[in-house]
Amino acid sequence: MNKEPLIPRGDYSPVVRDRINRLKQDADRLFSLGAVRKRCQQALVQFYANLKPEPYVDLRTQLSNNREYRFAQSLTLTYRSTNDRLVQWAKGCMSEYLLQEAIEERERLIENFARIKLASRWYQMKDDDEAWRVFSQNIPYDDADREKEIDEFFETLDILCILTDVINGHAAEYGLDVDYHTRTLTGVLASEKAVKYWERLVEQQFVDQHYMLLASTTRQQAMYIAELFAEKLELEDKWKTFEDFWGINNLAQEKYKCTELGKLPARSNVIDMIFKD
């Protein structure tokens, strides 16, 4: 358990602390490896689809002039090194504590990520193409003074995405042994009554076979599930129970937002049916 973190911890200003809180609140979406890979694929496909021969301009120059392509390429190249690094780190953890250590390591990495100037607005990232495009176009690749910052940004983002993938049930893809079911589904969450609801949540594709939230499940849906689940199990601390289980934060805030807007999450009718006896 006494291991060196992947990236050392630092001290943070109040402004950075606010960024940290925003990133942690929505970490599963903001650092979804699937979303990042999808964006990279779109950038690469679009680049080659629009590629036209230009007199006296070689391919290398065209690549360097396309910031979306460079964004995708940087993440792809970074993945080759950080993947091995993270796997070696994980193998140094005791297997029964690996999931918890991954959650804690992601928390530390988010703190470091938030202090990087280039990443200061990452918490505003949306899932639409335009947000990714604008972000990639503003990366100062040609600024030699920020080269180290850019490298740190891509390296940290890449590790965060891989950790998030591991946390959300995909450890086997990295050759890691994490039994999400037996090591995290315990106590009241493993009761016969609870298992009935878990099976329905799996069937309706809100969680995977390890009962971890799928990438397609929104924070508002997670909040609604936690609230109804807690009522059925008569839990005193409904938010903390599921925040700890899923490795997310501030579900109570999502409840507040929904109440303020007077709206229920998407597919709330399906979730209602899941928890009907």
Q: What is the pLDDT of residues 40-63, one digit of tens each?
A: 777 777 777 777 766 655 666 666
Sign for the CA dihedral angle at 100, 188, 272, 258 comes to: negative
Q: Answer for the pair 69, 43: CB distance below 8 angstroms, yes or no.
A: yes
User: d(Cα 58, Cα 270) in Å, to the nearest integer?
Assistant: 54
Q: Note whether 105 and 92 are within 8 A (CB).
A: no
Per-residue model confidence (pLDDT) at position 78: 65
Q: Which residues contact 261 (CB under 8 A, 6 or more apart)?
A: none
For 139-176, letters b (16+ CB in 10 Å) and e give beeeeeebeeebebbbbbbbbbbbbbbbbbbbbeeeeb
- Rounded CA gap, 102 and 183, in Å? 14
pLDDT reported for residue 146: 92
Q: In tens digits, what is the pLDDT along the chain, a chain of 277 residues?
A: 344 545 445 556 788 888 888 888 778 788 888 888 877 777 777 777 777 766 655 666 666 677 888 888 777 776 667 777 887 888 788 777 788 788 888 888 998 899 898 888 888 887 666 788 888 888 888 899 999 999 899 889 989 988 888 887 788 888 888 766 544 566 788 888 998 999 999 999 999 877 888 888 999 999 999 999 999 999 888 888 898 788 787 899 999 989 988 999 999 999 999 999 8
List all residues 6 or more positions away from 184 whose beta carbon is below 8 Å from its beta carbon.
Answer: 99, 210, 211, 245
List of residues 6+ apart from 192 with CB closer than 8 A: none
